[in-house]
């Protein structure tokens, strides 16, 4: 490599690259956000998204997966890059660019796998505490993106247990969009995707007849992820 090119690299200001994970979960009733307690210096009472630094030998995707695994012990979950936040003032300690990812997990899968190295807690979306730095902006962007994705693709299944009822699925989408959905229209449109397999088992106690459980057809889900639902509110809700 030419010497003048090397000098150009040397003259540049070094910048840290961080990753922040916006982890959404659903507990059957509410859409929630997983946060960790910020416990250093004056920020000891501030909550934070789960984050970390990109190491020299890993890609952004590898780093995001590693950081999520360190907290939840979960792998092979839905994880998507959201946006890069690079305001010079976003981190008062050091010039840091943060690449935000959002993840979708089922709360039941997570709760018994939490790492004891972190003070982590689920918060309902309507009851979030004060967040570190620009993490509130990250969360706001993530929920808007989640709503857009959920209105177009069957992404909501990532937040559900292996088997679920149509009413449970409707509760999830109502929690995502913060609005009530028409029961008949929701069921009709959802079943028309042919992504669900009806089981013989029923959920007792929901009604006199009970509600049938369903599970996702994994092969069709992977092949038809871009199936358009087009029956939910827009991402601006």
pLDDT in tens, 131-146: 999 999 999 999 999 9
DSSP notation for the chain: --HHHHHHHHHSPP-EEEEEEEEEEE-SS-EEEEEEEE-SGGGTTEEE-EEEE--TT--HHHHHHHHHHHHH---S-EEEEEEEE--TTS-SSS-EEEEEEEEEEEHHHHGGG--TTS-EEEEEGGG---BSTTHHHHHHHHHHHHHHHHHHS-GGGGGS-SEEEHHHHHHHHHHHHTS---HHHHHHHHHTTT-EEEEEEEETTSSSS-EEEEEE-HHHHHHTTT-----S--TT-
- Interval 40-80: pLDDT, tens: 545 557 899 988 999 999 999 999 999 888 887 778 788 99
Looking at the domain that runs over 154-223, which CATH code has it been given? 1.10.10.10
CATH superfamily of 3-151: Nucleoside Triphosphate Pyrophosphohydrolase (3.90.79.10)
Q: Considering the entire predicted model, what is its pTM? A: 0.85
Q: Considering the chain, tell me which residue range(s) the CATH 3.90.79.10 domain(s) occupy.
A: 3-151
Kindly report, residue by residue over 147-179, the tens digit of the pLDDT: 988 888 878 888 988 899 999 999 999 999 988
């Amino acid at each position: 490599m030419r010497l003048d090119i090397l000098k150009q690299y040397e003259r540049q200001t070094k910048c840290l690259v961080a990753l922040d994970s916006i982890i959404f979960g659903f507990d059957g009733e509410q859409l929630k956000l997983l946060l960790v307690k910020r416990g250093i210096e004056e920020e000891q009472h501030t909550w934070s998204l789960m984050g970390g630094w990109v190491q020299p030998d890993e890609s952004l995707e590898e780093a995001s997966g590693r950081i999520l695994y360190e907290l939840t012990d979960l792998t092979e979950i839905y994880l998507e890059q959201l946006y890069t936040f690079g305001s010079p003032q976003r981190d008062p300690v050091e010039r840091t660019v943060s690449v935000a990812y959002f993840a979708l997990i089922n709360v039941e899968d997570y709760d018994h796998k939490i790492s004891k190295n972190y003070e982590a807690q689920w918060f309902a979306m309507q009851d979030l505490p004060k967040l570190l730095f620009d993490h509130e902006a990250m969360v706001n962007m993530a929920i808007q993106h989640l709503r857009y994705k959920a209105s177009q693709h069957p992404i909501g299944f990532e937040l559900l247990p292996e088997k679920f009822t149509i009413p449970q699925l409707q509760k999830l989408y109502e929690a995502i969009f913060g609005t009530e959905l028409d029961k008949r229209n929701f069921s009709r449109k959802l079943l028309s995707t042919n992504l669900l397999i009806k089981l013989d088992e029923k959920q007792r106690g929901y009604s006199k007849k009970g509600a049938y459980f369903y599970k996702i057809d994994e092969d069709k889900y992977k092949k038809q992820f871009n199936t358009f639902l087009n029956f939910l509110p827009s991402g601006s809700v």
